[in-house]
A and B are shown apart, each in its own frame.
Chain A
Amino acid sequence: MFDLEQSIADWRKQMLAAGIKSPVPLDELEIHLREESERRIQSGLSAQPAFESAVQQIGQANSLKMEFAKADRTKTVALRGLKTLFAVVFLASIVALNIYLASELKAICLIDLGLLSFVLPFTAGSQISKNAADSKRQSRIVWTGELLIGLCGFLINFSSHPVFGLAAAIVSCIVFTWILRQQTRATVAHS
């Protein structure tokens, strides 16, 4: 005896196994499958052939996954643009702050140090670990970046000369931008 609910549950498992992980498209596809099966039953087919032909009409899981991946890539590219903009604004603001407040550089540098050596690399690093195709390589990139940024922070803190502070801040920003660039490459390659 054909069980529609069981067949739909099996179909969902196949879709999940093929890589359509996100629940939203899967729910939409399931609703579509139910409507198409019902329409075919109303047109005279019995339940099982109606369901099977509706599944065929929806398409193969692998090709669907590839199409959904394209949609995700669009999102990734938009995200990459946003991150690049963020990195550029961040770089410009740090440089401007260092130039404008040269006399109070010490205090500003403490904020720079906190941001550059912990918060931002951590954010970039956590994104890499989620998306990296080669996690070991990405991990090395993050740790190298962390070390360089930490070294810059050290220079900023222990140097009384504003030029050193400025140079260290610029190097920190370049390293941070580089980490972001590696991360977006990994994301695009992964998608």
Chain B
Amino acid sequence: MTIFLLDIHIKSMYRVPMIRKELVAASAEPLILSLLAKGESYGYAIIQEVKARSDGKLNWTDGMLYPVLHRMEHRGLIKSRWAESETGRKRKYYSLKKDGKTAMAKHHEQWSLVHSVLAGLKKEQYV
């Protein structure tokens, strides 16, 4: 019993808190749009940047990014082109379209609203 409790304690202390998959899925599109707003990029670089910016807490299953990119392309939010990298490797580069910029602005507005409501509620708890 003691060992069991200790195990829970160790896990809760040292395990990196991962973000729930529903939230990861919901945030994929705004994150991709925001990253592409900085300039064109390709799948692998997008994943690495998201991992780096979230300290590895936003952990996408790598392959899942590509269906999302394809879906966004079908919806006319982004466009793609094949090009060779400086190492000679072929890569598919994605960039933002006009509709993508509009969608990004909407996402920012909505996520900011959610964030401000949560922040306000949190602040009230400590007053």
Which A residues touch B61, using CB under 8 A?
Answer: 57-59, 63
Q: Does A1 contact B (CB under 8 A)?
A: no
Which B residues touch A71, using CB under 8 A?
Answer: 67-68, 70-71, 74
CB distance from A26 to the nearest CB of B (A): 10
Q: Does A13 contact B (CB under 8 A)?
A: no
Q: Does A134 contact B (CB under 8 A)?
A: no
Q: Does B15 contact A (CB under 8 A)?
A: no
Pick the contact of B62 from A25, A34, A58 — CB < 8 Å? Answer: A58
Contact indicator B91/A31 (Cβ below 8 Å): yes
Which B residues touch A64, using CB under 8 A?
Answer: 63-64, 66-67
Which A residues touch B75, using CB under 8 A?
Answer: 74
CB distance from B54 to the nearest CB of A (A): 16
Within 8 A of A (CB), among B44-99: 44, 47, 61-64, 66-68, 70-71, 74-75, 89-92
Q: Does A29 contact B (CB under 8 A)?
A: yes
Q: Does A137 contact B (CB under 8 A)?
A: no
| A74 and B71 in contact, given A25-B66, A31-B90, A32-B62 (Cβ under 8 angstroms) | yes
Which B residues touch A75, using CB under 8 A?
Answer: 74
Pick the contact of A74 from B62, B64, B74, B91 — CB < 8 Å? Answer: B74
Considering the chains assembled together, what is the distance between the CA atoms of A28 and B64 in angstroms?
A: 12
Who on chain B is nearest to A77 by CB? B74
Q: Does A10 contact B (CB under 8 A)?
A: no
CB distance from B48 to the nearest CB of A (A): 8
Contact indicator A31/B64 (Cβ below 8 Å): no
| Interface set of B (CB-CB < 8 Å, partner A) | 43-44, 47, 61-64, 66-68, 70-71, 74-75, 89-92
A–B pairs, 18, beta carbons within 8 Å:
A28-B43, A29-B63, A31-B43, A31-B44, A31-B90, A32-B43, A32-B44, A32-B66, A34-B89, A57-B62, A58-B62, A58-B63, A59-B62, A59-B63, A63-B64, A64-B63, A64-B66, A67-B68
